[in-house]
Amino acid sequence: MKIKMFGLMGGKARERASSSSFCLLEWGLNLVTAALNWKLYWCPLKMGISDTVRSLFPCIKSHSTSDGDDSTHNVEFAGGNVSLITTKESWDQKLAEAKKEGKIVIANFSASWCGPCRMISPFYCELSEKYLSLMFLTVDVDELTEFSSSWDIKATPTFFFLEDGEQIDKLVGANKPELQKKITTVADTHVACEPQPQPQ
């Protein structure tokens, strides 16, 4: 399918376009291919979309500190060991809990409109069940826009590895092998650092 693009251009560009055919189909396919390759691992952050990550992560346990009976925030989803963070208070609560229990936190900043986030979510849930010595969180960037910005989130998913609330590592993108590698390394290092019980 070839079309002449001279109607949309002016000056010399119109002359060049009117003298040669432009293959829109080939251009479109190249554009779509490039976009799919680019979006395979991460999405640029778009703020202001009110969708929720909960629909993407069937294994997420939602936590909220609101006193009202907000059933969407108090639902326990089957399976997994991932907590959905939708308020700054619940973030602070989970980090305090991790510090008290001596756990490293894996925080996944994610969005429901992000294809790579949807792709990696089941794998992230599997990892949460395998590595019980770590705390797995998912932060909904649409619910916590300002908070996500304070972490300098430029793309989703972005995974932060935190010890005592301080960043020790980071991964941008839905790269399963790299996420597995980083989590395994953190878990192995954490276990090696824990004090071993002394024989009596």
Q: Active-site positions?
A: 114, 117
Find out whether 140 and 111 touch, Cβ atoms under 8 Å: yes
Distance (Å, whole) CA 80 – CA 20: 58
Distance (Å, whole) CA 58 – CA 70: 18
Distance (Å, whole) CA 50 – CA 68: 20
- Of 92, 102, 91, residue with least CA distance to 164: 102
User: Which two structure tokens, joined as six digits, stand for 107?
Assistant: 């925080």
Nearest 5°: CA angle at 12, between 10 and 18?
80
Find out whether 136 and 110 touch, Cβ atoms under 8 Å: no
